[in-house]
A = this chain, B = another copy of it.
């Protein structure tokens, strides 16, 4: 997973973004034989962590150095096609909004195509975060993060 972060073109009208690859775990399926719906939010988290890492901003360092956490205040997901066990999925993430202490990320979950096939869109969604200190008090996003994210949005 952690070797796949890269800035790749996403969609003509969208910003470049970070893309990471995962394989669906058995633990992520349920008895319908498809991935349990809450697990897409776990994948969104992997996507935004990779996005930050691709900008040189490790989330683990953010927590340690800046005592800064990014709790989610809103999430949503539209499920288009079910992901299944052992599928290779791509998580594409881009910043969708950067305010003083509010961040929004947009995600697409795709199944990797084989033999020249196009990747298939499985789900898409957004999460909104508020920048907080460790006591969950709102604080401004440090400049190095907001600059990097805004630059990515314009690119």
State the CA gap A4–B29 with chains docked (Å): 22
Does A13 reach chain B (CB closer than 8 Å)?
Answer: no
Interface string of A88-124 (1 = CB under 8 A from B): 1000000000000000000000000000000000000
Tell me the number of copies of this protein. Answer: 4
A79 near B73 (CB under 8 angstroms)? yes
A85 near B71 (CB under 8 angstroms)? no
State the CA gap A89–B151 with chains docked (Å): 32
Contact residues on A (Cβ < 8 Å of other chain), bracket = 35 or more
B37 near A31 (CB under 8 angstroms)? no
A26 near B41 (CB under 8 angstroms)? no
B3 near A25 (CB under 8 angstroms)? no
Residues of B within 8 A of A78 (CB): 73-74
A76 near B75 (CB under 8 angstroms)? yes
Residues of B within 8 A of A82 (CB): 71, 136
